[in-house]
Amino acid sequence: LTAADPRVLALAAEVTESREQDIPLLLLKLKGIVNDSSLGCEESKKIKQDIYGYNLTQYCMLLLRQDHSQLHGGWATAAQLAEILSHCCVGLEVKEDPEEFHKKFLPSAIDNLLVLGRRLQARFIRAIKDREKQEFLRWFQTVTDAICWLCGGHIQLAECVLQNDHFLQLLVTDDVETAAITMSVLHHILRVNSSVLLEVDEETLHSVLDELVYKLSSTANPVIGNSATKLLLLVAKCGKQLVKLIAARYKGLKGLLNKQWTGKGFDRDLNQLLDLLYSEQKGQMQRQHEAACIIQAMWKGFQTRKRLKKLPQAVTTLQRKFRAKREQELQHLKKQKEDEALKLQMQLQRQRARRLFHERQLALLEIIHASQVNKYMEEMEGKSALTIQRFWRGYRARRNFHQERQSLKEYKAAVIIQRAACKFLENRRRRRTLSPWRDPKGLTDEQRLALQQKVDDYIKLHPASQMSEELSKELHMQAQEKLAWFLLRSRLDRRAVQRRKSLLAQVNTNVELLLNAPGLAETTEKDLDVFMSQSIPAATKARQSHNTVLKYTRWPWWKKLEDEFTEDGVIPDDALNAELGTLFIGGKK
């Protein structure tokens, strides 16, 4: 075993014996030890092993989580410690328990570096002076460089960085400088380990892509746009499935890149990204076309198999229908031939009967004397006329009977309805006449005395309140005044209501006259008199109302059956409307 480096040994002893607040400044000496240019490769590895063996690296990692605003050296010391930690871990070969170094120490170091980066980013955003902002930005750059250096030496740490919540919070910021530096870290990680995006979980991948697309859509800064475009291009080059994810998840990304970021100085990367997205879209359309062709082929095959399966049944149905139709045609031809044969037979029978009749007539004429021929012919003509008349009258009676059958049914139905209505009215009149007034039964003397006793007892228990004569007169006067006021007011209200009704009737009449008035070209002096005089429309309406009442009184009794439940002398509005059409009477239509 070789001896430890004396500088490392002395520094470890000094750290052990020093106070806690002095340790960060002492650990800065590691920078000169690690970066000594006189050391060879093997000697540098040996020094890093000694630093790790004496737990100086662990000290550096733990100090990164402290609040350096209260320590000596401040945040500049923290940034230098981050740089020292990254250089001490890269190229280090741990021989004792390497699993602990790779599985526990390095992820913890990454986490502490990201925590330190978040603190520096927050202080940079809150800083007001330009000098402070420049210092915090330089220290933030140093910490991110340390992270990149560490991920370059240990590529397995790329997954830890992407899945760390602090890195996503560093990325999700509106500050241009820190956002550009954080995206450069992501760019370095993806260049070192391009397959890391396929290894992280889906939520982390979606979060990173969402933030990159959001930065493209929410800002017009060409620095941010260039960095985000390069990152998306690098992500798309990592695998076809990532290109599919970007094209499917962000459908408006192509239009956004074309409209907003064309001609901003990074058209080469932008065109490569657009080519990848459009090629994926074409491939997706081609796959959809192939899938549609497959679906159509399957559907056509299914329909063909279905038709072939139904073909025997269809053939059987076709044969059955054809045979039925052929049988129907044969029956029709047979019936047609029978009808023609029957007509021919009837015609022959008529001809034979006519021939026999004429032969009989000739035989009778030969037998009868010449002087009796005219008389015989007149008798025969009379009999023939009677026969023709008898057949014609029978035919006409049967035709009239068929035509009048419906009216006869209606007449019988009307007779039945009238009979039922008359019976109903007769029964109602009989019930009214058979309800005589019954006088109440009189009281006996004993009942009268008992009732008088009850009245006297009630008066004794409930004596009436006494009221003076003056109070009674005053109450009477008040009642008379209220009654007079009520009667006067009711009379005035009735007059107002009557006036409103008359005005409404006049308005309705004028409206009706205006609606039915002829055009100006057809107007006569008689029409002008109707509009110039208010008495002519009123007289016309009164005359029409009087005619309607007269017609209503002349109606038959069966038209007034349903009016027996209405008041006497009241004409239904339906009757008036049916007679007068659109006439307005008393404000009603």
The answer to whether residue 323 scores a pLDDT higher than 60 is yes
Decide if 172 is inside a domain: yes
Is residue 79 within 8 Å of 24, Cβ to Cβ? no
- For residue range 426-472, list pLDDT tens digits in order: 998 888 754 555 555 677 888 889 989 998 888 888 876 667 788 88
362 or 385, higher pLDDT = 385
| Least confident window among 276-285, 371-380, 565-574 | 565-574
Helix (H) or strand (E) run with residue 400 in it: helix 373-433
Decide if 225 is inside a domain: yes
Decide if 349 is inside a domain: no
d(CA 28, CA 300): 79
d(CA 419, CA 415): 6
The answer to whether residue 581 scores a pLDDT higher than 50 is no
572 or 141, higher pLDDT = 141
The answer to whether residue 77 scores a pLDDT higher than 90 is no
165 or 40, higher pLDDT = 165
How far from the centroid of its chain's Cα atoms is residue 415's Cα?
61
- Span 408-426, average pLDDT: 90
- The whole domain housing 77 covers 6-284
* Amino acid 220: pLDDT: 82
Nearest to 15 by CA among 50, 60, 49, 45: 60
Q: Following DSSP, what letter does each residue of 307-324 receive, concatenated?
A: HHHHHHHHHHHHHHHHHH
Decide if 247 is inside a domain: yes
The answer to whether residue 584 scores a pLDDT higher than 60 is no
* Amino acid 335: pLDDT: 93
- For residue range 55-71, list pLDDT tens digits in order: 777 878 887 787 777 76
Both tokens assigned to 544? 């029409």
Decide if 240 is inside a domain: yes
d(CA 449, CA 433): 38
* Amino acid 531: pLDDT: 67
Nearest to 78 by CA among 49, 44, 118, 47: 118
Decide if 206 is inside a domain: yes
> What φ, ψ does residue 263 adopt, rounded to 5°?
80, 25
d(CA 153, CA 113): 15
- For residue range 142-154, list pLDDT tens digits in order: 888 888 888 888 8
| Mean pLDDT comparison of 31-35, 184-188, 248-252, highest-scoring range | 184-188
* Amino acid 102: pLDDT: 81
- For residue range 129-180, list pLDDT tens digits in order: 888 888 888 888 888 888 888 888 888 888 888 888 888 888 888 888 888 8
Is residue 425 within 8 Å of 431, Cβ to Cβ? no
The answer to whether residue 565 scores a pLDDT higher than 50 is no
| Mean pLDDT comparison of 111-115, 388-392, 438-442, highest-scoring range | 388-392
pLDDT band at 325 (very low <50, low <70, confident <90, very high): very high
14 or 496, higher pLDDT = 496
Domain count, the chain: 1
- CATH number, domain of 238, equals 1.25.10.10
How much of the chain, in percent, has pLDDT values that exceed 90? 12
Decide if 308 is inside a domain: no
How far from the centroid of its chain's Cα atoms is residue 588's Cα?
46
- Span 563-571, average pLDDT: 45
Burial of 142 (0-12, 13-18, 19+ CB in 10 A): buried
Beta strands in 19-168 (DSSP E): none
445 or 581, higher pLDDT = 445
pLDDT band at 586 (very low <50, low <70, confident <90, very high): very low
Q: Average pLDDT of the chain?
A: 80
